[in-house]
Structure 1
Amino acid sequence: MISIAIADDHKMFAKGIESLLEEEEDFVIKGLFPNGLELIEFLEDNLVDVVLTDMNMPKMDGTGVIEAVKKMGKDNKVIVLSMYDDKELYEKCIKLGADAYVLKGSDPDELIYTIREVHEGNYIQGFEKLMFQQDDGKYPDHFKERFKLSRRELEILRLIKDGKLNKEIAEILCLSQHTVESHRKKIHQKLGVSSAVELVKKAIEMNL
């Protein structure tokens, strides 16, 4: 199970995120907090795997949360949930120790995927830079290719790389075989491959 605490002064948004994440069997929400200070006070006596924090909050903002959490030395992961598509703010958060930066307008699957990847230590730092639309050749192709895929498609691609057949993938993810086959076709299209061998090669290049 991945335990999560959410700090956001917009109660409706926070409740929406809570409802979204509670649909995932491996997520458990430990608390919602209207500001960073109350979150930090909670963390002093409670263990949480991942912290989701807004940037603009009363009493203690998102940057303050990042600094305070990292000073605790408890290995809590911090994901910033921000409405600001701002490269400088992103870089500031990462420099302070944030583990990921997700825009509030992102697809819900991207947040779910990011939480799991950050918790497991598989998240590629710098992946978020793509949101700033800086296609200047500085970012490896596998960042861009990985960004094309949904969380579910990434899960399926990883299982394909591990040698799982469609039937096995369906059983592992509790999906129908038809659904897995449909996802697989979309993955082939998005990555521009035509065979299983090419697909596995792509997965390895993408560090899955």
Structure 2
Amino acid sequence: MIRIALADDHKLFAKGIESLLDEYDDLLITGIYPNGKELIDSLKMDLPDVILTDLNMPVLDGFGVLKSSKKAFPKIKVIVLSMYDDEKIYKKCMKEGADAFILKDADPDELVYTIHEVYDGRHIANFQRVIQQANQSSFYDAFREKFKLSRREVQIIKLIKDGMQNKEIADDLSLSVQTIETHRKNIHSKLHVSSRIELVNKVQDMNL
């Protein structure tokens, strides 16, 4: 069981995250806090495995959560949830020790697998790749929407197109080979292809 504490001052968003994670038997929300101070105070009594924190909160913001939690409890994993596609914010989170960074408009499955990867120590936030994603053109957004792809799946498609094998992709993204294989199966299903060659041909035809 992965124990998760969530800090976010937007009640509807926080409840939505709780409802999403409740669908998974191995994920448990141990507490929802309206600001970083209440979350940090709770750590004195109950330590979660993973912290999900918003950046903009009253009393103590997400950067404060990162500093305080990493200083007092360095083994706790911290995933930042943010609505801002900003390079300076990504770099500041990286400097403060964030284990992963997810935009709030990401697909739900991206949050779930990131929690698992962070908990298992396999996921290290690749901030440069996140920055590149933030600068993608509207064409890629249209491609994602058409085939219901997550940002991670688009990343993997590009790396496959570049000729990388599963192990190379896993190393590049700091994920497990098993995770990459699962994503590839999902990609094949969504794009209605049955092989690497068919996948590459399809994305080349679309000028991706």
Could you state the TM-score of these two structures normalised by the residue count of structure 2?
0.69
Q: Which residue does the alignment assign to 1:145?
A: 156
Asked if structure 1 preserves the Cα contact closer than 8 Å seen for 2:85 and 2:131, the reply is no
Question: 1:60-102: CA deviations, max 9, x gaps?
Answer: 0000000000011341100000011111101101110111110
The equivalent of 2:90 in structure 1 is 90
- For 1:147 and 1:114, the matched residues in 2 are separated by 20
Q: Indicate if the aligned counterparts of 2:188 and 2:194 stay in contact, CA closer than 8 A.
A: no
Superposition map of 1:1-208 within 5 A: 1-126=1-126, 127-133=129-135, 144-145=155-156, 158=178, 183=186, 185-186=188-189, 193-194=196-197
Q: CA deviation at 1:113?
A: 1.0
Maintained 8 Å contact 1:81/1:101: yes
For residue 202 of structure 2, what is the aligned residue in structure 1?
none
> Secondary structure of the equivalent of 1:53?
strand
In 1, are the aligned partners of 2:86 and 2:131 still within 8 Å (CA)?
no
Q: Unmatched 5+ residue regions in structure 1?
A: 136-141, 162-168, 170-181, 196-208
Q: Which residue in the other structure is 1:164 paired with? A: none
- Range 119-128 or range 48-57, more displaced: 119-128
- Please tell me the root mean square deviation across aligned C-alpha atoms, in Å: 3.7
Indicate if the aligned counterparts of 2:99 and 2:124 stay in contact, CA closer than 8 A. Answer: no
Match of 2:148 in 1: none
Name segments (4+ residues, structure 1) moved above 4 Å.
146-149, 187-192
Report the CA distance shift for 1:94/1:159 in structure 2 as closer, same or farther (over 3 A).
closer
Q: CA deviation at 1:125?
A: 2.8
CA distance in 1, matches of 2:76, 2:157: 25
1:117/1:128 CA distance change after superposition, 3 Å: farther
Distance 1:8 1:119, change over 3 A: same
Change beyond 3 A, Cα 1:59–1:158 = same
TM-score, normalised on structure 1?
A: 0.69
